[in-house]
Amino acid sequence: MSSDHPLLLEIQKGESQTLEFKEQLPKGQQVAKTLIAFANTSGGKLVVGVSDDRQLVGIQDDIFELQDQITSMINELCMPNILPYIYIENIQGIELLVIEVSRGSLLPYYLKPQGKAQGTYIRLGASNRVASPEYIQQLELQRLNQTFDEQPNPQYSLDDIDLQPLKQAFAEVGKELSLQKMRNLKLIIQQNGQDYPSHGLLILLGLYEQVEIKCSRFKGTTMTVFLDKKEYRGDLFSQLKQTEQFIKNHLHLRAEILGLQRTESYEIPIPAIREALVNAVLHRDYSNAGRDIKVGIYDDILNIVSPGGLPNGLTEEDLAQGRSEIRNRVLARVFKELGYIEQWGSGIARIKDLCLEAGNAEPQLKAQGDFVDWEFYRPSIEQLGGSIGGSIGGSIGGSIQEDMLTDRQKEILDLIQQNPKISYRAMAEQLAINESAVKKHLNNLKDAGWLERVGGTRGYWVIKKEFGGGV
């Protein structure tokens, strides 16, 4: 089937964060969950008349009757009300029903019968997931056009906080950190006539448990054996310096003869790595305790993983087009003031350009479920032309083989990684597809060497290759 129809091209790529397709119109709640997830995340399209294997089968029911069903279902189940764009798309003589939803402004949207706490759905990859309390809080702040780090924390007193690390960071660039400057940067928030530190100030000073960077050097290309491991806490400025040094300690040096002089440079441009680390610190979700930034160095890949997914409904396509959203405005203001970032939204392009200019493969920025990770590809020893120093490399977030997986297959591997004993039925329910489709995907993954079944009906699944979804 060949066509340059835009919707057909989308369908051929498979289901994604912004696309879901069904052979027939699902039951009300199933449709409502998808539309709610789209409205809470990046918007998207639900296309009816497409089989699980991406074949166009068309719709058999009366179009106008389906439209009435969808409108009634939304009014009955969705809160606040969602206003979708419902239309017919004709591709090669086959009619498809498209329900298109934009990202909403009345966040969060939720399923009425379940209530806000249990019925708020978001889109992760190609599946709908119940939003955590922290994520719901984020959506509510977005509705108010506020970020988490702009909120005060009355549990802390300014008198009990050591501001020295922040003052020193400002002094190093020849600036003074005055009380008025702190108010302007929203490091201090006034509430009921009282000054309180913002979450942003407490994050910068490293006073929250989740403000941590974990660094690991692994042997080979898997996470089986540690060669080195460090955990950095304290203020963000010292964490960034320590993490950068850890990475340098485990990278090769590239030797080059220029004229009569031998020069050495790191195999991956340090400015690109530094930019990616700042990007991870600025854009991670600090409202969710218990998770941290992870840096993994393997024989083939340097990987920087930041928890929280893409902010404010962004997609990977948005990033590729240069669109940027700031999750932590206080942190971003301070880092810009200190010269850590130059201009909004330029970091991603600069990271890629620095690597390409150095003759390296283009690094990839990927959204893997509720994480965002940078993958820097390490040159081989032969490409380096002789090297000094240690070697590290591997894959936290992906490999060549993984790039060949469909979005649906990645979702299945992600579910198995979370629960190796998960049943066909549970996978089908979480992915909103039938069990036969799940079994088909599992068989394909087994044939490709990704999966192995150990035991019978009471057994479990084993993922045989390194997969990025569980980092």
Supply the pLDDT for residue 146: 81
Helix (H, G, I), strand (E, B) or coil at 228: strand
Question: In the chain, which residues fall in CATH 1.10.10.10?
Answer: 403-470
What are the residues whose beta carbons fall under 8 Å from the beta carbon of 233, sequence distance 6 or more? 206, 211, 212, 239
Q: Is the pLDDT of residue 397 over 50?
A: no
Q: What is the spatial distance between Cα 363 and Cα 366, in angstroms, rounded to a whole number? A: 10
Task: Enter the DSSP assignment of 187.
Answer: S
The CA-atom distances, in angstroms, between 304 and each of 351, 384, 395, 396, 405 are: 13, 22, 10, 8, 21
Averaged pLDDT for residues 162-187: 93
pLDDT band at 344 (very low <50, low <70, confident <90, very high): low
What are the residue ranges of CATH 3.30.950.30 in the chain?
6-142
229: tokens are: 């491991």
β-pair type (301-307, 371-377): antiparallel
pLDDT value for 395: 33
Q: What angle, rounded to 10 degrees, do the helices at 424-431 and 435-447 form?
A: 110
In this prediction, residues 447-459 reach a mean pLDDT of: 76
Lowest mean pLDDT among 59-63, 179-183, 339-343, 355-359: 339-343
pTM above 0.85, yes or no: no
Read off the pLDDT of each residue in 163-176 and give the average, rounded to a whole number. 94
Give the range among 118-132, 224-238, 357-371, 383-397 with minimum mean pLDDT.
383-397
Over 70: is that where the pLDDT of 400 sits? Answer: no
Name the residue with tokens 């300690």.
249
Average the pLDDT over 454-470 and give the result: 70
The rounded mean pLDDT for the chain is 84
Res 260 pLDDT > 70: no
Predicted local confidence at residue 257, as pLDDT: 59
For residue 88, list its beta bridge partners.
Answer: 97
Task: Return the CATH number of the domain spanning residue range 403-470.
Answer: 1.10.10.10
pLDDT at 37: 92
> What are the C-alpha distances in Å from 227 to residues 117, 233, 253?
43, 21, 19
**So what CATH class is 6-142?**
alpha beta
Secondary element (H or E) of residue 460: strand 460-463
User: CATH 3.30.565.60 spans which residues of the chain?
Assistant: 213-398
First-to-final CA distance of the chain: 37
Q: Which CATH number is associated with domain 213-398?
A: 3.30.565.60
Mean pLDDT of 423-448: 83
Torsion sign across C-alpha atoms 405, 407, 412, 415: positive
Give the whole-angstrom CA distance, residue 393 versus residue 298. Answer: 2
Task: Name the percent of the chain lying above pLDDT 90.
Answer: 41
Q: Which positions ≥6 away from 267 have C-beta within 8 Å?
A: 251, 252, 253, 254, 360, 378, 379, 384, 387
Lowest mean pLDDT among 90-99, 100-109, 386-395: 386-395
